[in-house]
Every structure is written in structure tokens, then in C-alpha cells.
Amino acid sequence: MTRVGDYELVETLERGNHGVFYKAVPPARLGIDDDFVALKVMEQHSTDNEFRRVANELRVFASVDSEHVVRLLDAGQQHGRLFYAMPWHPDGSLETPAGIVSRAQCVRVVADAARGAHALHEVGVVHRDIKPANVLIAGQNGRLADLGLAQLMTPGMTTTGVGPVGSIEFMEPDVIWGEKAARSSDIWSLALTLHQGVCGEGVFGEIPESNVLDAFKHVLHQRPALSDVLGERLTPVVERALSEHRSDRHRTALEFAEELDNLEGLE
Amino acid sequence: MTDQRIAAVPGNGLVYRDGDIVLVAGGDEAPNNALAERLIAAMSGVGDAAGVRALARLLLDEPEPPPVAVVAIDGRTASIFAFGDLDIVVGEQRLSAARSVLGLNEQVDTTEGLAVVAAGTSPPEILSWASLGSGAVSGAGVVVVAHGTSVADVVAPAADDVEADAPDPDDAIEPEEEVPTEEPAAEHVSGEFEIPVLDEPDDFEVISLEPDVAQREPLPVDDAPDVSIDSDDESAPGPAYADPVDVLGVMSPRGHFNHPEARYCSRSGVKMGASHTKVLVNGARPPLGVVTFDDGATYTVQWNTVLGRDPFMDDAVRAQTAAPLVIVDDSQSVSRRHVLLELVDWDVLVSDLGSQNGTSIKTVDAPERLLGTGERVVMRSGTAIRFGNRSFVYNEHHVR
């Protein structure tokens, strides 16, 4: 049987350069009723300093008391590899939902994820990796999962290589240019996640999957082009969140969420 | 119009045909009348992909859209758009639309016959005289009878045989997610790592999640450039390689620091005015470019960096004058310390660190070649570097 720590691995969900996501059976010591958890196992950490920094980040993440942030159940290390467990979400994520997500539900779910991001920002944490795969669906509500730890493990690393090349399009270009991540970085990613969820397409047109350099130039040198599918009510909200200058965007993720809340009656 | 015979599968949903376009909505459940009318209106007169997209949009605005399939028959092929609890049966093959959020979008061969049925069910026997010309009828699906064959030939494997493909709400993420694990192209093998099978469940350490650090301050609301990823760990001063380096450059009209010969600002794209190009000022060197790896990972080039499987033993890394960048490579084709990226003024120089398998460089205007011992080459946009089974492409930030 394959194990990590005292977790039994059930299946591999996602795999990339910096870690692997598993569906796993949690150990009895956690005292939870759930049959399964999502277990992330990071690539071997590099230095004690970086490891400590990541562990600190996880502690802060765990301390966030918000129903819109996925609970961190457990963390540990084995042979220098960091792992952490989160509850299993059978409804899936905005990237791979278990059912059809309507426009109204998508907006609600992203607004919730924005509230989750705000809760993180209030304790000094930037998520850094908000994308459809990290916005989990829990019935009619949404939850923000995971953290972009790649930048902490390896400063300068902006994307993890998890998933297709196209996932770089959710990164704020400013961060790729070398700016420090801030509230506005997550707000940018939330807006792109909303666009992808509602329109089923990104804002950079066809990203050439086969050529990473072209994909990169796309994201770095093009202004986002919003789809008509977004509709006249969502477009101004997304436009503002994608302003070229950070100071023109929503000041907080909560403000972004509240603007979405005010669009009642989308269905 | 197609000479293929189309018949409705008995049921309570909506089946609609207009020429070569067939719509199935609701499966065995009747969609509400208003929606059915809108669907029919959206369908009539459109026989192309644009019509299908318009339909998709219409459905995405529904709070609970019914399962829907649109089949556009074009001779021996058909374009199919479907989502919800419907299966598309093509000869022996069964495609499930149930798990696809954005819908199944396929082009299929109709030579073997084609059917759209409720998920997990098989196409029924169609009476030899049954045929839907045009218009709307009740039905749970459609069978497109292959030209010159009997309906029996269309019958697909029984639902039981394809149970693994049938939608299972508890397990819905699985098939989509498994795809990446099945396609490790040769060059990407090194992008993954295997978790060793560790059958010693007590051989691990639990990390306490109790906050043992003082509660952090909220992030500043105003755009604050000094939110550093190091600032949250005061006990760990930044490494020496991250110290700012002053270089001579020019300011763009929007206040971005640029390469002295830049004609356009690398950040804002504005043309550098003549007056600006003349004033050279000292400023902190901005990140010079981005390295994009074969697996899609990206790394901002802002300080000297040693790339390798285990770069920590490198002297420059130990002295903190270069950052380590771990390159995952299970095939061991990458050396422990393999490639060095050095920032000199406004250039990034690449060299091989005496690796076992060498490092090759391919620039835009020259064929691929091996880097010589001690040779340092300036990278430009499009310069591709191969080392072992891994590779990256460099992209400069500033426009020359």
C-alpha cells in the first residue's frame, strides 16, 4: 500500500514540478469523519530557512477563521518532504466541477473565494495562486483552497508548472515582472478566474500550449480582452479588477466580492 | 440535406430537427416549455458553430440547465456539442458529456452510426419505418442510422459494459484529472517526481499548526511596493544575492527604470522620449527576464542562479552570491550543479558548470551547439538552453 506519513493514498489528482495532489484516507488521529482528504505532498524542500518559512505560512493559513477558506487539517514532513491535508470536496473545483455551474452560481462561488482571499490578506498572507482549480465548490458556496507556496520555496519562481501551460494566465503580470505580490495580485487572479468560469475561456485568446515562450509573451505583453459572454453587468467589475495599474483596481478583495454580491438576479 | 435517417428515442424530453441539425434537450425529462421554445428559436436557421455557441450561452444563463446535445451532420462526419447527463454513442465508442462543464465538443465519424442517449443507457431498436423529418417531438435522444445499415448495427455496448464511464457523482473528478499522468512526453519525464513508497507510517513528523508566531499585520490596502516575501520572517535576513545592484539606466516617462538603449519602456511600452534617453541615472537593477521551463514553470531572473539537481553544494550558493534552483530530474541526466546564470550589468550570461552531460545553446539565428568549458554566452529573447533531459527558453524583459 502506498502511504505518505500515515495517510493511505487512493489516487493521484494532479501532479507537477512542485508537488502532487492525492486523494487519501486520513489517519484516525485526526479524529474526523470524512472518508477522504486532499493531500498535497511538496517536492523536497531546499533549505531549513525556506522550510521554516513555508511551515510558518501554513500556520498562518490554518489560523484564518473563515468559512470561505478551506480548513487545513494537518501538516507534516517525511524524509524532508512537506505534506498537508485539506478536506475532500466532492463537488469539485471551478476547473473540474462535478456538475454544471450556472452563471449565478459561478459568481457566488468566486465572490466567496474573494472573501476567503480577504481573510488571508487580513492576516498578512497573499494567496499567490488563485485559479479555477483552487476555487472549490461546496454546494452553492465557494471556498479558496491551497496557497501558492512555490514563491516561498524558491523566491523568483512564479508558477509551479502544475497543470497546463495555460495556467500561467491567471498570474498577475506584475508578479511575473518581479513585483512583490500584494492584495491586488490576488484580485487580478480572482477576476480572471471569474471570467474563465462564466465565459469558459480566458482573456488572452488561444494560448499556444505547445510553445511556452509564446504563451508567456501572450500573458506578459497583451492586455486582457474580455469576452462578450461576460455580459454588461459583470464586465465593469472584471474590468476594474484587471486595471493596468494596481491602484485602479478594487482596494480589497472584499470590495470585489461585495460588488459581485450587488449583482443579484443574474440567473 | 443528409440522406441518413434520423429517429427519435422514445422519452419525455425535447427532440428537434431542422435540416442537418438535431437538438436533444432534457433527456427523459421534459424541459420547461419556455426554455424549450427559446432553444428551438435559437436553433432555427443556424447550422454552424456560431449557432451552437449561442445556444451554449443561452444555457449557461439557466440556473439549472437541462442536459443538451446538438448534432450537426455534415456528410460522413458530425459535429457534436453536448453537456449534462447524456452519452454520445459512436459505433463501439461511448462519450460521456456528464462531467464536462464547458460541454463536450467533438467531431465524429457517422459511418458507423451515431446516437445520443440518456447517460448509461443504450440506443433502443428503432422501427424500420420510424423517421424524423423536421420539427419538434418528444424524445429522450436520437439515433442517426448509418447509411445503408440496419438500426441494429448502431447499437452500442450495453450500459453495463461501460459502467466505468458512467457518471458517478462521488467520483466525478477522477477521469479528467488522470489525463496528465498518462502523458508524460519523453521530455517531460523529469518534470515529475515519484513519491517513494514509504511503508513505515511512524517515520514522519507532524508539524504543529498552532500559531507560534506573533499575529501578522494585515497587508497594506494601498499599493505598497515593499510587501516583501521575506518581511514576514524577520529572523531570516535576505541572502546576499538578493541585495540590490545599482546599474546605469534611463527612466521612462512613466517612471520605470530601463536599459540605457531601450527605445520603448519594457513595462509600459511607451516610447522613450529623446530627452530621457540622454539622462543616465543610477538605479536598482530590475529583474532582467524570465526563464520558462519545459514543464511550464517560470523563474524570474533577478539574481545569479545555479541550476541543478542539488545546487546547494555550489560555492557561490554557499557564499550566498547565487541562488539555488532545484531542477527535478529523475533520470539523473542533470548534474547536481549544472548551469549558471549570471547577471552582469544588463545582461544575463549562461555557462556550464562542468556538468557530466554538458549544456547546449540554441539562439534564434544559429544552430544548436554545446557550450565550451568556461564559455559564457549572453542570452537574448528566444535563447533555448538544454541540459540533460530538461530545457528552458529565456525571454528578456526589455526591448532592444
Per-residue model confidence as pLDDT tens for chain B (400 residues):
556 788 888 888 899 888 888 888 887 778 888 888 887 877 765 555 455 555 655 665 666 778 888 888 877 778 777 777 888 888 777 877 765 444 566 677 777 788 999 888 888 887 778 888 888 888 889 998 865 444 334 443 333 333 333 334 444 333 333 333 333 333 322 333 344 444 455 677 777 777 655 567 788 876 444 333 333 444 445 678 888 888 888 887 777 788 877 767 776 666 776 654 457 788 888 888 888 887 767 788 989 999 998 888 899 999 989 988 888 777 788 999 999 999 998 999 999 999 999 999 998 788 889 999 889 999 988 889 999 888 888 888 765 5
In this prediction, residues A40-49 reach a mean pLDDT of 68
Kindly determine whether residue B216 and residue A60, on different chains, have CB atoms separated by under 8 Å. Answer: yes
Residue of A nearest to B241 (CA): A155
Report CA Rg, chain A.
Answer: 18
CATH class of A3-87: alpha beta
User: Does domain A103-261 fall into CATH 1.10.510.10?
Assistant: yes
Q: Please say if the pLDDT value at position A58 is more than 70.
A: yes
Element (H, E) at A241: helix A231-241
Q: What is the pLDDT of residue A205?
A: 75
Task: List Cα–Cα distances, B270 to B22, B39, B108, in angstroms.
Answer: 52, 48, 49
Of the residues B64, B104, B195, B257, the best mutation for testing chain A's interface (the one with the most A CB atoms within 10 Å of its CB) is: B195
Residue B149 phi, psi dihedral angles, 5° rounding:
-125, 165
| Contact present, B39 and B66 (Cβ < 8 Å) | no
Q: Closest approach of chain B CAs to the CA of A196, in angstroms?
A: 10
Domain boundaries, chain A: 3-87, 103-261
Q: What is the pLDDT of residue A216?
A: 65
d(CA B83, CA B67): 6
A89 inside 8 A of chain B by CB? no
User: From 3.30.70.260, 1.10.10.10, 3.40.190.80, 2.60.200.20, which CATH number describes the B289-396 domain?
Assistant: 2.60.200.20
Domain boundaries, chain B: 5-178, 240-284, 289-396
Q: Residues 8-27, chain A: which have Cβ within 8 Å of B?
A: 9, 11-18, 20, 27
Per DSSP bridges, beta strands B135-138 and B377-378 are unpaired
DSSP 3-state of B52? helix
Q: Residues 174-213, chain A: which have Cβ within 8 Å of B?
A: 176-184, 198, 200, 212-213
Which residues make Cβ contacts (< 8 Å) with residue A24, sequence separation at least 6?
Answer: A4, A7, A8, A9, A10, A36, A37, A38, A39, A85
Q: What is the pLDDT of residue B316?
A: 93
Q: Residues 50-69, chain A: which have Cβ within 8 Å of B?
A: 52-53, 55-60, 62-63
Element (H, E) at A59: helix A48-63
Element (H, E) at A103: helix A103-122
Q: Three cell numbers at B4? A: 441518413
**Candidate from B177, B198, B302 with C-beta closest to A78:** B198
d(CA B392, CA B394): 7
* A-B Cβ pairs (cutoff 8 Å, strict): 259
In this prediction, residues A30-43 reach a mean pLDDT of 87
The one-letter amino acid code at A261 reads D
Q: What is the pLDDT of residue B57?
A: 57
| Contact present, B206 and A75 (Cβ < 8 Å) | yes
Kindly determine whether residue A212 and residue B229, on different chains, have CB atoms separated by under 8 Å. Answer: no
ipTM (interface pTM):
0.71
Spell out which residues of chain B touch residue A90, defining contact as CB-CB under 8 Å: 169-170, 172
Q: What is the pLDDT of residue B375?
A: 94
Q: Residues 119-178, chain A: which have Cβ within 8 Å of B?
A: 121-126, 150-152, 154-161, 163-165, 167-168, 176-178
